[in-house]
Amino acid sequence: MANKKPTLLVVEDDEGLQAQLKWAYEDFEVVIAGDRESAIAALRSEAPAVMTLDLGLPPDPDGTTEGFAVLDAVMELKPDTKVIVASGHGARESALQAIERGAYDFYQKPVDIDALGLIVRRAFNLHQIEDENRRLVNHAAEDNTVLGRLITGAPEMMKVARTIERVSKTSVSVMLLGASGTGKELLAQGLHDVSDRADGPFIAINCAAIPENLLESELFGHEKGAFTGAVKTTEGKIESANGGTLFLDEVGDIPLPLQVKLLRFLQERTIERIGGRKPIAVDTRIVCATHQDVEAMISEGTFREDLFYRLAEIVVRIPSLAERYGDAVLLAKAFLKRFAKEMNPGVTGFAPDALSAIDAHEWPGNVRELENRVKRAVIMADGKLVHAEDLDFGADGEEDTEVLNLKAAREQADRKVIRHALARSEGNISSTAKLLGISRPTLYDLLKQYDLSA
């Protein structure tokens, strides 16, 4: 129903006060609970945005303090509920303790109905604002998702996504080149998901993480008795990915003898297991990645040139996170939402100083560093917001990029600031213009001039 009144849960054991509060707020659907059991039942069934709680509820027979037990249950079951606690004269310490444990505000008994009404309505308004902010963050994350799961708003990364979408319908081999932590496996998975092989397996293997003497068996499999310890016939990763995609991460670490065998597979599309004599036809698409300079390795003789051209029919270069202006904030918000749900539900967002610090950091470890810092910050945060100190940047500073051409320097600065503002305001034009201190028409002109999108 569109005109349904918001629910206010009142946890109070005084029947006289129950009746007084029930009839004092005609604009709310007031639900009364007189003890912990009924309060928790009402919390589960009504999911109220706001509740008032008498900390002075009679204790259980075992001595458990009822009021604090209810508060702890609310913070565990529905931490976004605004809990307004009541305390009697001389019980201010209990009220402050309740706020430390997650309560929104407190009021003193005897109750001033008008004063309590102001607190209740303010709590409802705040809950509504926070709820709207959560919807905006979720909407922004959906709007900035490409390839099914990659979050970005940066033109550089959108170009990468468009390239991957175009080549996904073909059978060509793709090489992803980028620094460690830029999301190469995520892009490989995205390529698989939008390809005609999406119903087949996606298998990833890190060639640098497997000892050289085991890598051949991992890739090509082995027959029973092929070597000591080969007690049964085992498929390799290339064979296991038949009909799907095999992602070879850190392909530059494959030793030269094994490069010859991989090249033969790419040319003939057949493999032989270790100890086997029969060729096995395999329809597996290869996507590979490395952070190494493969062309330099070819010059040094540590990587076969013919294998490179077989693996790199399409080369996609992935920009670093520092080159994807605005993406750090978008990704940080997505990581915070995930980690808060898993580890600290009381955390709801970033404080302004944290967003500024995320914008300013150069992210040498790229997305992996960002993910780890946000995870740590969510765990360490004391309140609802993550602050800059929780991100533990220490004395990290910004790097200066020397641009001697004045026009180019201004354009570079404009682009960077506009992208940061767009990310900070979730792509909202009015909010972005306000952050930048310009009018909306001026912002539209700049977006058109620099070929940026909101």
pLDDT, tens only, 425-451:
767 788 888 888 888 878 887 887 777
Judge if 222 and 329 occupy the same domain: no
Judge if 315 and 391 occupy the same domain: no
| More confident of the two residues 419 and 346 | 346
Judge if 277 and 158 occupy the same domain: yes
Residue 148 lies in a domain: no
Q: Is the pLDDT of residue 285 over 90?
A: yes
Boundary residue ending a domain (319, 334, 367):
319
Q: Is the pLDDT of residue 136 over 60?
A: no
Q: What is the DSSP letter of 274?
A: B
Measured CA to CA, the distance from residue 108 to residue 88 in angstroms comes to 6
| More confident of the two residues 237 and 101 | 237
Measured CA to CA, the distance from residue 269 to residue 155 in angstroms comes to 37
Measured CA to CA, the distance from residue 440 to residue 429 in angstroms comes to 7
Judge if 353 and 339 occupy the same domain: yes
Q: Is the pLDDT of residue 194 over 50?
A: yes
* Residues counted in the chain: 454
Judge if 96 and 162 occupy the same domain: no
Model confidence band, residue 403 (pLDDT cutoffs 50, 70, 90):
very low
Model confidence band, residue 377 (pLDDT cutoffs 50, 70, 90):
very high
- Give the distance from CA 286 to its chain's centroid: 28
Amino acid at the residue 305: E
Boundary residue ending a domain (268, 290, 319):
319
What is the DSSP code string of 121-161?
HHHHHHHHHHHHHHHHHHHHHHHTEETTTEE---HHHHHHH
Residue 331 has what pLDDT?
A: 92
Judge if 243 and 298 occupy the same domain: yes
Model confidence band, residue 133 (pLDDT cutoffs 50, 70, 90):
low
Model confidence band, residue 96 (pLDDT cutoffs 50, 70, 90):
confident
Judge if 23 and 42 occupy the same domain: yes
**Tally of domains within the chain:** 4
Residue 1 lies in a domain: no
Judge if 309 and 437 occupy the same domain: no
Q: Is the pLDDT of residue 411 over 80?
A: no
pLDDT in tens, 219-274: 999 999 888 888 899 999 999 999 999 999 999 999 999 999 999 999 999 999 99
Which residues does 340 contact at the CB level (< 8 Å), separation at least 6?
346, 347, 348, 378
Judge if 181 and 79 occupy the same domain: no
Q: Is the pLDDT of residue 316 over 50?
A: yes
Model confidence band, residue 400 (pLDDT cutoffs 50, 70, 90):
very low
First to last CA, the chain: 34
Model confidence band, residue 423 (pLDDT cutoffs 50, 70, 90):
confident
Model confidence band, residue 163 (pLDDT cutoffs 50, 70, 90):
very high
Residue 440 has what pLDDT?
A: 81
Residue 454 has what pLDDT?
A: 60
pLDDT in tens, 202-213: 999 999 999 988
What percent of the chain stands above pLDDT 90? 39
CATH code for the domain of 412: 1.10.10
Rounded to 5 degrees, what are φ and ψ at 30? -85, 125
CATH code for the domain of 35: 3.40.50.2300
Average pLDDT of span 121-127: 87
Q: Is the pLDDT of residue 296 over 50?
A: yes
Q: Is the pLDDT of residue 402 over 60?
A: no
Mean pLDDT of the chain: 85
Residue 193 has what pLDDT?
A: 93
Any idea of the CA torsion for 208, 211, 217, 220, to the nearest 10 degrees?
Answer: 20
Domain limits for position 105: 7-141
Judge if 100 and 164 occupy the same domain: no
Average pLDDT of span 370-398: 83
Measured CA to CA, the distance from residue 258 to residue 217 in angstroms comes to 10
Residue 3 has what pLDDT?
A: 59
Judge if 287 and 200 occupy the same domain: yes
Residue 189 lies in a domain: yes
